[in-house]
Chains A and B, each alone.
Chain A
């Protein structure tokens, strides 16, 4: 339920925006700055995992290193297969973040295309396309995902990106559709049509750019959402195939040893929670800065 939260009142509320003013006002917001720094650190950790990780994430250290609690040598302890947890979390960040970012990109592309066609065409095409969106929104996403993976067995990373993308575009398409409908009869669009531009050109060059601002917020919050969904899928045992570890699979490993080794579920979960919190703050501040309440949460 993370994306449904509103975070207090931002000092940025209620101004019209331009890119420059947006940047300068956001940097003056301490909460935004903290969230952005956190995300930067997480991204750097993921990017430089091979250099930062003190041990090989997939290789057992030695026979004596089984499920050790946190210590000076192993900051986050070791797991039941004698592997260093900190290293596994660092490498897990790579997969978790890459999968999330790419699948949100897929979802945004699909949502934009679908919503743009529906909004621009109008009439029965719009009605038909939007009913499909209603249906998509009526299935809890995790159940839709589960029903898809029910026949796939283990998923490769590209497959999981596609599957996550294909189940995440419904909300975005509605945003784009509403935006396109609002701007397609405006003067600039009418003028472009009158001067002989093809419908495709009018849509892509003149109408869509105005409809895409809300997508910035939707995409940001979407990444926060999909990080959790991906982790949840892995937690249930249907995510990226082992031995590659995502934060979700790490928490799943921790669950099996919840009574004996608390660190195995606590640390990966903390990494996940901190990242999601930072993304939510970022998305929420962006939303307030870009014009407040008319932008719904995805």
Chain B
């Protein structure tokens, strides 16, 4: 087991390094340079332009910049934001917990709802309930996430549920902890609900298929023949085994989730990693962009690894592999 974990870690690090490399060179291959808008200012002298470039190491050859960047990143230094003049790490420190809160809430609700719905559908495959909820899920999954988010904004604008932001800006920082927490939770409901809806739609399809796959198995027929009630067969015996593909799905859905979070965050003005990335792109602030990409790929790799571990934990047959 230990050697498997070690191998996974090495593979993960390799992938994160590759994504950083790919993104770094893609950005530098693009025409234009950072600060383009800033440096074009006619009031600047050439010396001032050169000084700015030198300050951020942009006067060096790309390969040298790349080596420097890798060396800095390996010590946990992601450089300074071009726009905010703060260390990127500090900016991420604000944004990442918000994205984690949003994604974790959406994941828990989405998976719980999706698994329950999929199990009910699978247990009564072909019924009107299965058809109705099933086609709704297919429809939902085809809806572009940003458009669904926009429809939610449209529906709830003006109600007591806030459609924009992470907290009420007028709420003083001196307000009691409880009030501020509740305020954030109130802001969380709609973005997390939107994301959870999309997740539930996807998960329910997989759960349904997994359950239908497993229901005709011999050992379930045995359980039924021994007089175990249908409800118990489905929920005690079948569901446990139909769980495996869902666990894998959870780990592998991270890229789709992060992508969805970008749009949901942007639409609801949730100030997390996604909004940060979108904003940084507009500002040509590429230390921030690069850091977000690096961090997301680390999340993706971690998700895949966790899925493997969870698989092994849930399925004794895989432990020996």
CB of B246 within 8 Å of the partner chain: no
Contact (Cβ within 8 A) A139 B255 = yes
CB of A17 within 8 Å of the partner chain: no
Tell me the complex Cα distance, A272–B150, Å. Answer: 14
CB of B238 within 8 Å of the partner chain: no
CB of A280 within 8 Å of the partner chain: yes
Determine the residue in chain A with the shortest Cβ distance to B28: A151
Contact (Cβ within 8 A) B27 A139 = no
Q: Which of B181-225 contact A (CB under 8 A)?
A: 198-199, 201-202, 205-206, 209
Question: Chain B: residues with CB nearer than 8 A to chain A?
Answer: 14-16, 18-19, 22-23, 26-27, 30-34, 36, 134, 137-139, 141-147, 150-151, 153-154, 157-158, 198-199, 201-202, 205-206, 209, 249, 253, 255-256, 258-260, 262-263, 266-267, 277-278, 280-282, 284-286, 289-290, 292-293, 296-297, 300-301, 304
- Chain B residue numbers with a CB within 8 Å of A235 are 146, 263, 266
CB within 8 Å for A6 and B206 given contacts A144-B23, A146-B289, A262-B154: yes
User: At the interface with chain B, which of A44-52, A118-126, A128-136?
Assistant: A128-136
Tell me the complex Cα distance, A265–B255, Å. Answer: 26
Contact (Cβ within 8 A) B27 A269 = no
The CB with the most chain B CB atoms within 10 A, among A131, A231, A236, A265, is that of A236
- List 16 A-B pairs, Cβ < 8 Å: A131-B14, A132-B22, A136-B22, A138-B301, A139-B22, A140-B259, A143-B262, A147-B289, A147-B293, A150-B281, A151-B27, A151-B32, A152-B31, A231-B146, A251-B146, A280-B141
Contact (Cβ within 8 A) B154 A135 = no
Contact (Cβ within 8 A) B26 A147 = yes
- Chain B residue numbers with a CB within 8 Å of A135 are 15, 18-19, 22, 297
Contact (Cβ within 8 A) A140 B22 = no
Interchain Cβ contacts within 8 Å, total number: 182
CB within 8 Å for A138 and B150 given contacts A4-B202, A7-B138: no
CB of A153 within 8 Å of the partner chain: yes
Contact (Cβ within 8 A) A277 B142 = yes
CB within 8 Å for A139 and B297 given contacts A4-B202, A148-B26, A151-B286: yes
Determine the residue in chain B with the shortest Cβ distance to A8: B134
CB distance from B135 to the nearest CB of A (A): 8
Contact (Cβ within 8 A) A5 B202 = yes
Q: Which of A255-290 contact B (CB under 8 A)?
A: 255, 258-259, 262, 265-266, 269, 272-273, 276-277, 280
Q: Which of A1-31 contact B (CB under 8 A)?
A: 1-2, 4-8
CB within 8 Å for A5 and B300 given contacts A138-B19, A143-B258, A251-B147: no
Tell me the complex Cα distance, A269–B267, Å. Answer: 14
CB of A191 within 8 Å of the partner chain: no
Looking at chain A's contact residues, is the secondary structure mostly helix, strand, loop, or mixed? helix
Contact (Cβ within 8 A) A273 B144 = yes
Contact (Cβ within 8 A) A1 B134 = no
Determine the residue in chain A with the shortest Cβ distance to B154: A258
CB of A232 within 8 Å of the partner chain: yes
CB of A54 within 8 Å of the partner chain: no
CB of A116 within 8 Å of the partner chain: no
- Chain B residue numbers with a CB within 8 Å of A2 are 141-142
8 Å CB contact of B263 from A6, A232, A262: A232
CB distance from B317 to the nearest CB of A (A): 20
CB within 8 Å for A148 and B278 given contacts A139-B23, A140-B255, A276-B144: no
CB of A61 within 8 Å of the partner chain: no
Contact (Cβ within 8 A) A251 B150 = yes
Tell me the complex Cα distance, A189–B304, Å. Answer: 35
Contact (Cβ within 8 A) B31 A151 = yes
Contact (Cβ within 8 A) A259 B157 = yes
The CB with the most chain A CB atoms within 10 A, among B23, B249, B280, B290, is that of B23
- Chain B residue numbers with a CB within 8 Å of A258 are 150, 153-154, 157
